[in-house]
Copies of this chain bind each other. A is one copy, B any other.
Amino acid sequence: MITKVGCPLCTSDGGQVIYRDGGCRVVIAEEAVQTGVCRVILDDHVAEMTDLSVERRGHLMALVFATEAAVRAALHPDKVNLASLGNQVPHLHWHVIPRFYDDAHFPDPIWASPRRTARARRIDTETIRRSLRDTLAGGEGS
């Protein structure tokens, strides 16, 4: 595995792992500003999607879409936001962000200033985990 000293995604899981395969992991981002945010993280320290082979891009995106499907099935968000930024941590990780009309930032991105105080939402991690496994078992996103 390609790792980089000091990279937090090389030295830690980056959240509560709900799925792992030979090259990637899916985590619940427990510290996120928005509840229910998942991240799909490449295990190797690579900065950009176009640094990966077409096959590895496809594998990573299949997991992103499987996670989107799981988040939709588990949380029924009003919208899903997908983003690969990596400005602070240039190690490929995709944010899969369930959005709700009454969340703190809607309709702005979650990185903008909040518009309101959102009501607390209970996120059932086990439901997301089960949905992700069902989705992958069903071939979704492959």
Contacts and interface: CB of A to CB of B under 8 A. Distances in A.
B83 A87 contact: no
B72 A81 contact: no
A108 B111 contact: yes
A61 B112 CA distance: 26
A93 to B, nearest CB: 12
A47 interface: yes
Interface stretch (A9-17, A37-45, A48-56, A118-126): A48-56
This chain: copies in complex: 2
B81 A81 contact: no
Contact of A48 (B80, B106, B113): B80
Contacts of A58: 58
A83 B86 contact: no
A25 interface: no
Given A65-B57, A68-B50, A87 B111 contact: no
A69 interface: yes
A109 interface: yes
Closest 10 CB pairs of A and B: A87-B107, A83-B83, A109-B111, A82-B84, A81-B85, A111-B111, A50-B69, A111-B112, A50-B68, A88-B107
Interface of A: 47-50, 54, 57-58, 61, 65, 68-69, 72, 79-88, 90, 99, 106-109, 111-113, 140-142
